[in-house]
């Protein structure tokens, strides 16, 4: 997952119970994948990197929101269309037979983006209800695909159609260490993002190069420090006043998510005098879920009173509010004067090294034996499980899979223990570690 940038985005849309989640898993080829939640309307969409017809793309399942739950008020419509506008391609999933009022409402909702639409009719296995399905052409669709997400009928044809409609020219697959270190400058307005960007890129006005594409990723500028090239990713628009009826936080966080998908790490800018906001906590949480490095940048530190232990007091308060992010360094700076920026960039280089660190399976499982000896799993009949082995499946994001005899018995507390031992013992002290628990092959057969 960490080896791709600028992936095309495909969104699965449709009313509940038409089989979107089944199709999502089918297109992922039934592999268990760590998924990324991103803000939605009434239930968070789930996304994962899928390889379809040999091409990588980001697949988003919007399952769970019902258009008629709260009525089609303006905000729900605007949010729904907002998420669909970000898609390079939308797969509208319908069911053969008569359309429900909800289906018809959805079709009307999608008319403005019909050029980016593929229509698939589910549950037509073995030709079942195909005649009724052809009636859907009366809604103005140029073509429909008869599929069965459950049984796999015609999925190959649908996959080829999806890939043929996408532009993969911007996808990057170069080795992580050959690339610049990509920094997303995030934080609420007036925390000094532009000032820091200009200081880093040594320009009076940020160097902007607009990259064409649906999500319009903007790179503010590049700079070098100690033989490392950095790239600053802009979050332009986060300060724009929102229109009436729009939810400011929703759109601000959505822009931040775009930067997170492209970045290696986040400089989360915090005004030293004002402290943290709820949006800061949300952005940090999203960065953590995606396995991105985070540095909590306390800007305007030069305006703080020169009191003994002031930094310790502010740090303690931040640690208390962030809870699970004790690994994220806190660096005080002044973007205006440049104080603290050397330490900020040295820390960023250390984080980048940890993000790209890989551990061989042999030493990793030797470490696992030590962890299990020092804190053995429970032995009760209901709580008993056995950790068979562990493997690292990716760097940047750092992702480990533990194969376990009874995954359902392994508590979140024990998973947290394993995660913390990886961070402490294996050189990941400054970065988030994704831990996935799976049944071992032998135990999978028993189920």
Ranges of the chain whose pLDDT falls below 50: 1-2, 31-44, 64-65, 69-76, 176-177, 204-219, 236-249, 444-447
Backbone angles phi, psi at 323, to 5 degrees: 60, -90
The class (CATH top level) of 361-446 is alpha beta
What pLDDT is stored for residue 347 in this prediction? 97
Cβ neighbors of 1 (< 8 A, separation 6 or more) are: 33, 34, 48, 49, 394, 397, 399
Q: 29-53 pLDDT, tens per residue? A: 754 333 333 333 333 456 678 888 8
What pLDDT is stored for residue 425 in this prediction? 96
Strands, sheet with 399-404, edge to edge from the N-terminal-most edge strand: 387-394, 399-404, 434-439
What tokens were used for 437? Answer: 């628990």
Rounded Cα distance, 352 and 431, in Å: 9
Token pair 């400089």 is found at 267
Cβ neighbors of 60 (< 8 A, separation 6 or more) are: 9, 10, 11, 12, 38, 45, 46, 47, 87
Asked if residue 322 lies in contact with residue 328, where contact means CB atoms within 8 angstroms, the answer is yes
Selection from 3, 10, 6 nearest residue 28 by Cα = 10
Q: For the domain bounded by 9-164, which CATH number is listed?
A: 3.40.50.300
Report the CATH fold assignment for 176-355. Rossmann fold (3.40.50)
What pLDDT is stored for residue 203 in this prediction? 56
- Please report how many Cα atoms fall inside a 13 Å half-sphere around the Cα of residue 29, on the Cβ side: 9
What pLDDT is stored for residue 123 in this prediction? 87
Same CATH topology for 176-355 and 361-446: the answer is no
Q: Where along the chain do its domains lie?
A: 9-164, 176-355, 361-446
């Amino acid at each position: 997952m960490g080896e791709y940038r600028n992936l095309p985005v495909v969104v699965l849309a449709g009313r509940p119970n038409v089989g979107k989640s089944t199709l999502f898993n089918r297109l992922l080829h039934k592999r268990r994948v760590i998924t990324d939640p991103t803000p939605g309307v009434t239930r968070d969409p789930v996304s994962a990197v899928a390889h379809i017809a040999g091409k990588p793309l980001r697949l988003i399942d919007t399952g769970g929101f019902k258009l008629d739950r709260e009525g089609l008020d303006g905000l729900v419509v605007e949010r729904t269309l907002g998420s669909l506008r970000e898609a390079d391609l939308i797969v509208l999933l319908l069911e053969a037979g008569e359309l429900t009022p909800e289906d018809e409402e959805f079709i009307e909702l999608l008319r403005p983006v019909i050029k980016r639409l593929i229509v698939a009719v589910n549950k037509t296995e073995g030709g079942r209800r195909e005649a009724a399905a052809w009636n859907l052409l009366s809604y103005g669709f140029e073509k429909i695909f008869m599929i069965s997400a459950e049984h796999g009928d015609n999925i190959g044809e649908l996959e080829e159609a999806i890939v043929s409609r996408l532009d993969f020219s911007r996808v990057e697959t170069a080795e992580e260490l050959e690339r610049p270190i990509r920094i997303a400058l995030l934080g609420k307005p007036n925390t000094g993002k532009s000032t820091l960007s200009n200081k880093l890129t040594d320009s009076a006005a940020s160097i902007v190069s607009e990259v064409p594409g649906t999500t319009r990723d903007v790179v503010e500028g590049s700079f070098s420090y100690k033989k490392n090239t950095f790239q600053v990713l802009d979050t332009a628009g986060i300060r724009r006043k929102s229109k009436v009826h729009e939810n400011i936080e929703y759109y601000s966080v959505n822009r931040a998510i775009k930067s997170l998908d492209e970045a290696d790490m986040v400089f989360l800018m915090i005004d030293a005098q004002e402290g943290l906001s709820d949006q800061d906590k949300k952005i940090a949480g999203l960065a953590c879920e995606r396995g991105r490095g985070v540095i909590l940048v306390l800007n305007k530190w030069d305006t703080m009173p020169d009191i003994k232990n002031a930094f310790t007091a502010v740090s303690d308060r931040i640690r208390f509010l962030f809870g699970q992010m004790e690994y994220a360094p806190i660096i005080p700076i002044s973007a205006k004067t440049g104080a603290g920026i050397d330490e900020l960039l040295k820390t960023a280089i250390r984080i980048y090294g940890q993000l790209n660190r890989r551990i061989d399976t042999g030493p990793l499982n030797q470490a696992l034996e030590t962890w299990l000896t020092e804190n053995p799993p429970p032995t009760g009949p209901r709580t008993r499980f056995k950790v068979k082995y562990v493997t690292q499946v990716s760097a940047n994001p750092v992702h480990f899979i533990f194969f376990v005899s009874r995954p359902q018995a392994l508590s979140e507390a024990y998973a947290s223990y394993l995660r913390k031992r990886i961070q402490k013992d294996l050189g990941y002290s400054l970065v988030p570690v994704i831990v996935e628990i799976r049944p071992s092959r032998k135990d999978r057969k028993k189920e």
